[in-house]
Chain A
Amino acid sequence: MPGLRAALPAALLLLSSFPPAAAKQPPWPWVPGVMHALNPSDSQASAAARTALHYSNYHGASPSRLRALHQVLKATVKAIPEVGMKYYMHFTTEDYITGEDAGSCLATVLYLKKSPPQVYIKCTHTQDKKQIHEEDNRFYQYLQHRKKPIIASNIPDSYGNIDRDHLALWGLAIAGSSCIMWERSREKLAYFVAQVKAVKQWIRKDSAVEFEFMILLHETPTQKIDLCHMHLIWILGHPLEVKYICTSDSHGLEDGSGQDSGSAAGMFHGKEGNF
């Protein structure tokens, strides 16, 4: 019939403009290149914000200015095919040690499968830059001029106490550990500093400050406690030089005893400076 013959090509044209019914759209977020809004309380949004802050705290190279996540205000995510997931966030922060408001940040975090996440972060400054610089300088001078190396353990101790004298040292440990935490962060793996198990200073003749740390990191969602041996060199005004190895990096500890934070911690009881 003439009508049908005319209708058929039109119908085919119409059909071809739609994707074939058999090939369903993959569920988000795997639709490449499309931004999807996240609920700000979504765990992925917080994790990405923290990853960005680890990067910032490490590159800031300042024990007196460390930020912790306060609240995620807005977050979106995009799948980049063959590469990974990229998070875009706006969040507020607080001072890591005092809890005071420390301004807000805009950040992007691209999680990769086998390398450290790529981070871009820019924060507003509510803290007095001059004051922070002075505090860092004071602490640096103090460390530089020491004749006897600082040796300490358990910061904080089991009861959460930190000696006033050790607060800045804790800050330095966190700044250095942030390198480890940033590099190890993956889309489904996040880190916190659980405890500084031990710290020993190496006295130098030049202007640099040198330390060895044993850091316990808390990994989520595995709930693992990872013991990391961190070597840190700090020259004021320069990026921190951090080298580290963690127990989970070593296959020799697969028997499980290395994962036991009990036995690892036991190595350092009463053995300060002996590593």
Chain B
Amino acid sequence: ETSSHKQIPESYNYTQYHPMEEIYTWMAQIQKSNSKLVTQHYLGETIENRTIYYLQISQPSDKTKKIVWMDCGIHAREWISPAFCQWFVKEILQNYDSDPKIRKFLQNLDFYILPVLNIDGYIYSWETARLWRKKRSPHMNGTCYGTDLNRNFNSSWGTLGVSYNCSSEIFCGTGPESEPETRAVVQLIERKKSDILCYLTIHSYGQYILTPYGSTTEPPSNNDELVHVAQTAAAALTEKYGTSYEVGSTSSILYSNSGSSRDWAHMIGIPFSYTFELRDKGTYGFVLPADQIQPTCEETMLAVTAIIDYVDQKYFPGGAMMLTSGSLGLSLCLTAVLTLIVP
């Protein structure tokens, strides 16, 4: 089975939860068997000195592409989140040959996928405390651990829905971007922000697609469009298995909070910034059964591709014409005619 150059490691089970070592191996293997499309990049290091990698899925081309960013695993206990990032990568690569829509996306868009941001916390939730949320930074001489990375970004940092006490699950850290993991994400996104059209961050649970902001009830400048696209995405999701998602700003349908990565992404100018809260609504909560990984990922895939589709159509309209040989012939004719007309 080495004939196809779009190989997914056969033995990897996407319908199970994987510990961090397996995710590291998976990333390396994915790059190795899809080297034309996938590059594994170094993002930074965690406080416990573990390397953070993201995967870039990019169709080889001369042109500079715009970017869709998706990160998973900011909160350790939300295991369905890294599972979705892995699923997403698998779907894109597996269906690249057969799905013209994916090839169309990749004409003008690169996908940057970060499967696990809070690596130390994720490992801790596997080895020690399943319901750990934060990262594992020591404070107060090692008597207290962990900043909530999703309160640590520089978006009205430290104002609402946070605690300044390390023992709290929503401890925002000693200052905005005090954590190396936060800084690693910020540095990359800052550098590329003029090319990033879409910032997605995946969490659980609750079944929401959340729009900016959490740190204020003031709506973002492109609120109508953001909400409209999110509603389209939620509708696409519901069609699969009837799962219902709510759409709205974090501050109105969830609770106020400052320092979130999604707020920060929008504030620095990334137009389509969303937080996903995946299944379920509290029955299993963080310990979502593995038999729900597949349906959750399948339905979420529809929502995410609806958003990417909108972004693609908005910034690269009419690209679809180039894909079929018929229209290629047509455009060749047109080019020939134009070169005759235009001296």
Contacts and interface: CB of A to CB of B under 8 A. Distances in A.
A265 B130 contact: yes
A68 B169 contact: no
Contacts of B287: 156-160, 194-195
Nearest to A262: B129
Interface in A29-84: 39, 41-43, 50, 68-69, 71
What's the dominant secondary structure at chain B's contact region?
loop
Interface string B110-133: 000000000000001010111111
Contacts of A39: 252
Contacts of B148: 223
B283 A261 contact: no
Given A160-B284, A222-B168, A256-B143, A261 B17 contact: no
Interface string B219-261: 0000000000000000000000000101110001111110000
Given A42-B252, A221-B161, A265 B129 contact: yes
Interface in A139-189: 156-162
Contacts of A260: 129, 145, 167
A110 B124 CA distance: 40
B297 interface: no
A160 B168 contact: no
Nearest to A265: B129
B254 A261 contact: no
B144 interface: yes
Interface residues of A, number: 40
A3 interface: no
A160 B129 contact: no
Interface in A249-268: 255-257, 259-263, 265-266
Contact of A43 (B133, B247, B253): B253
Contact of A195 (B124, B130, B255, B281): B130
Contacts of A69: 281-282
B65 to A, nearest CB: 36
Nearest to B292: A160
A225 B168 CA distance: 10
A161 B284 CA distance: 10
13 contacts: A68-B282, A68-B283, A156-B289, A160-B290, A160-B292, A194-B131, A195-B131, A218-B131, A221-B254, A223-B148, A261-B131, A262-B132, A265-B131
Given A160-B284, A259-B169, 17 more contacts: A39-B252, A41-B246, A41-B252, A43-B252, A68-B283, A69-B281, A156-B287, A156-B289, A160-B289, A216-B131, A218-B282, A221-B257, A223-B148, A225-B131, A256-B143, A259-B167, A262-B128
A-B pairs with lowest CB-CB distance, top 9: A256-B167, A262-B129, A160-B289, A223-B169, A221-B255, A192-B282, A160-B287, A256-B144, A158-B130
